[in-house]
Structure 1
Amino acid sequence: MNLPERWRAARPKVAGLHLDSGACSRQSFAVIDSAAQHARHEAEVGGYVAAEAAAPVLDAGRAAVAALTGIDASHVVFTTGSNHALDLLLSGWPGERTVACLPGEYGPNLAIMAANGFRVRALPVDGLGRLLVDDAAAMLSADPPALAHLTSLASHRGVVQPLAALAETCRALGIPLAVDAAQALGHMDCAVGADAVYSSSRKWMAGPRGVGVLAVRPALAERLRPRVPPPEWNLPLTVIERLQHGEANVAARVGFSVAIGEHLAAGPEQVRARLAEVGRMTREVLADVAGWRVVEPLEEPSAITTLEPVDGADPNAIRSWLIAEQGIVTTYAEVQRAPFEMTAPVLRVSPHVDITADELQRFAEALTAASSQA
């Protein structure tokens, strides 16, 4: 079987049509079973004994994250998700709290930055919201922030950011770079030399909800001052151990570790190539649907396609109709996702590697029907 066939065969049959991997992908039988088996083991021997037994699986998960981020496995921390990971990083930040990020930065990230006292500076972008690297280099050089932050693939628009180029620029200027890879991990190359990379499990990696990861290079990690446990207690804990402090859903971490292993076994380059193909297929099919404008360029190497209504359709109502009447799941992206860039809500389509041309055509026809009901 080819990659799309293997991916589909490894999962339960979908109830309808799933075009929502940018929100939550479909887990495999192996991922589901591994989490369930761990939960059963907790009931048999106790949660802490079961956690010790799961250590090799979790170590393998950290090693897989290391392979995808280029950051050593010893500095990979499991979290409850991307928001938690960013908060861990920023709450322990030493010294000046200024951050340079895109105007289209993800709304919850901006909220976490504000909650941790960071002042935001907007990086220069083009009309699609893509970073202008040379202009950014000049800006960062003239007035260096304490931190640069890049959401390398946004939630509201499938435009791939020049992550590697910004990482090179930041290295040359000595500015730490943190990367929100929630949409990018498993979707594009994230091993480009960033100082911190964080992500969720549930999106393109197709792991469980409620788990994520933060990978921090040793030089940056040693600068951090995690707020828990309080530093003045002088406990004999490393920064990484302090970042991992607290309760954990070990079953979800086991499932995530299995999902990352499946991704590596499938071949990250092959998955990225297929997702780019999926995006092109999707945009080709949707280009002529009346009442909607495809935002991304046809050849944009991402599987996210954003649809802007041009005749007054309500994306939220359209999404609800598609689910209720057709069993088709998409994403309603509200303005709060990128409050400094978006001016109106959009509909997002994010199929995974197993989508077929016939299914995309089915969606185009359903979208046309939904729009006529609006």
Structure 2
Amino acid sequence: MSLADEWRAARPKVSGVHVDSAACSRQSHAVIDAATRHAHHEAEVGGYVAAEAAAERLDAGRAVIAELTGLAAADVIYTTSASDALDRLLSSWAGERTLACLPGEFGPNLAVMAANGFEVRPLPVDGIGRLDVDAAARALAADPPALVHLTALASHRGIAQPIGAATDVCRDLGVPVVIDAAQAFGHLDCALAPDAVYGTSRKWIAGPRGVGFLAVSPALTQRLRPRIPPPEWGLEAPVLSLLELGETNVAARVAFSVALDEYVAFGPARIRARLAEVGALTRRRLAEVPGWRVIEPIDEPTAITTIEPLGGADPQRVRAELIAEHGIVTTFADVRRAPFELTAPVLRISPHVDVTAAELDQVADALARYR
């Protein structure tokens, strides 16, 4: 059985065509059952007793996250989302608040940076928004910021950033690097052992909504001062335990851990290769659709494809009508997703490994109606 067949067989039958994995992938039967079983256990013994009983399961999830990021299981905490992870990290930063990031940085990330008082500097990129590593190395050496923040794969454009080379540059310069792996985790190779990395459950790992992770190296952890509880209280507790503090949906964390196990069982390298293949298939097919332009290079090794209208079609309206009239789920991306790079809204197509050629034909044929 092919990877596509295995992936599809593990999930409830799809209603329509789901090409929206960059927003939220379809969970498997096992992931759904894990959340349900934990909720039942909470009802039987109480939420906090059930959480204690799930500790080993949650630790197993931390171990997989560690394996996929190059850090250690002890460096990993669960959060409610990628945005929550970034806020917990930046709000705890004790030093100078300057940060270098890509011009195409995710809009909500920029909002978190601003809310935490960070001065943001743009890193140099080429014509399609990919980091110019050599130019970045020179800029960072000349005027190093306190942190470098790299979004490995953007929300509005399926361009894989050279995060490996960039991480090496930052390491050589002694500048801590934080990787936003929300779109890259489970999609691209993220085992780079950066100073910090964060992501989410619901995208390419195909876990539930409402849970994410943050992994921080011991060296960077020593430089953090969590704001809750106030440091002046002098309470002795490990920094990461303070960052993870708070009420949470344990069932979602348990389900995320199961999704991580499934992902490893399918084979990360196998999934990455198939997603690159899916991206190329999608772009080739959509490049044939009149009235739309594919933004990414055909051979970009990602499964995110963004298309822009050439004849005045409204991507927001098209997205709504694709759902209502064709059962096709895509994403409308407006300029707020990348306010310093995106100049007009786009439509995002992001199939997972189980997409079929027939489904891509359905998407292309439906799009051809909107010019």
Give the letter for the 1:204 counterpart: W
- Residue number in structure 1 paired with 2:188: 188
Q: Report deviation, 1:236.
A: 2.0
Q: Which moved more, 1:185-194 or 1:151-160?
A: 185-194
Question: Distance between the aligned counterparts of 2:97 and 2:16, measured in 1?
Answer: 46
Q: What one-letter code is carried by the residue in structure 2 that aligns with 1:198?
A: Y
Structure 1 alignment gaps of length 5 or more: none
**Aligned residue identity for 2:347:** L
Counterpart residue number, 1:208: 208
* 2:53 matched residue in structure 1: 53
What is aligned with 1:336? 336
- The whole-number CA distance in structure 1 between the counterparts of 2:223 and 2:47 is 33
Distance 1:295 1:365 in 2: 19
**What's the counterpart of residue 65 of structure 1?**
65
Give runs of ≥4 in structure 1 deviating > 4 Å.
Answer: none
Which residues of 2 match residues 32-47 of structure 1 at below 5 A? 32-47=32-47
SS of structure 2 residue aligned to 1:57:
helix
Name the amino acid aligned to 1:40. Answer: H
Matched, 1:350 2:350: yes
AA matched with 1:84 = D
Q: One-letter code of the match for 2:196?
A: A
1:113 corresponds in structure 2 to 113
1:234 match:
234
Within the alignment, does 1:223 sit opposite 2:218 as a pair? Answer: no
Give the superposition deviation at 1:193.
2.6
How much has 1:344 moved relative to structure 2? Answer: 0.4
1:6 corresponding residue in structure 2:
6
Please state how far the C-alpha of 1:233 moved relative to its aligned partner. 1.3
Partner Cα distance (2:80, 2:258) in 1: 16
Equivalence for 2:149: 149
- Counterpart secondary structure, 1:109: helix
Matched residues in 2 for 1:116 and 1:42: separation? 36
Letter in 2 for 1:35: A
Q: By how many angstroms is 1:11 displaced? A: 0.3
Q: TM-score, normalised by structure 1?
A: 0.99
Deviations 1:30-64, CA, capped at 9 Å, x for gaps: 00000010011000000011001101110000000
Q: Which amino acid aligns with 1:368?
A: A
Q: Output one character per residue of 1:48-96: Cα deviation in whole Å (capped at 9) or x when no partner.
A: 1100110111000000000000111011010000000000000000110
Q: Tell me which residue corresponds to 1:173.
A: 173
Distance 2:11 2:246 in 1: 32
What CA distance in whole angstroms lies between the structure 2 residues aligned with 1:122 and 1:193?
Answer: 23
CA-atom RMSD, angstroms?
0.6
Matched letter for residue 242 of structure 1: L
Say if 2:313 is the partner of 1:313: yes
Q: CA deviation at 1:18?
A: 0.1
Alignment identity in percent? 67
3-state SS in 1 of match to 2:40: helix
Q: CA deviation at 1:362?
A: 1.2
Judge which range, 42-51 or 228-237, deviates more. Answer: 228-237
CA distance in 1 between partners of 2:36 and 2:230 (Å): 35
Q: Secondary structure at the match of 1:198?
A: strand
Residue of structure 2 in register with 1:282 after alignment: 282
State the distance in 2 between where 1:181 and 1:325 align: 33
Q: TM-score, normalised by structure 2?
A: 0.99
Do structure 1's residue 83 and structure 2's residue 83 form an aligned pair?
A: yes
Secondary structure of 2:363's aligned partner: helix
Q: Distance in 1 between matches of 2:53 and 2:97?
A: 40
The match for 1:266 is: 266
Counterpart of 1:146 in structure 2: which amino acid? A
Unaligned runs of 5+ in 2: none
Distance 2:82 2:45 in 1: 31
Query: How many angstroms apart in 1 are the aligned matches of 2:16 and 2:359?
Result: 10
Letter in 2 for 1:323: I
* 1:19 has 2:23 as partner: no
Task: Find the counterpart in structure 2 of residue 324 from structure 1.
Answer: 324
Corresponding letter in the other structure for 2:70: G
Distance in 1 separating the partners of 2:193 and 2:263:
21
- Equivalent residue of 1:307, what SS? strand
Q: Does 1:137 align with 2:143?
A: no
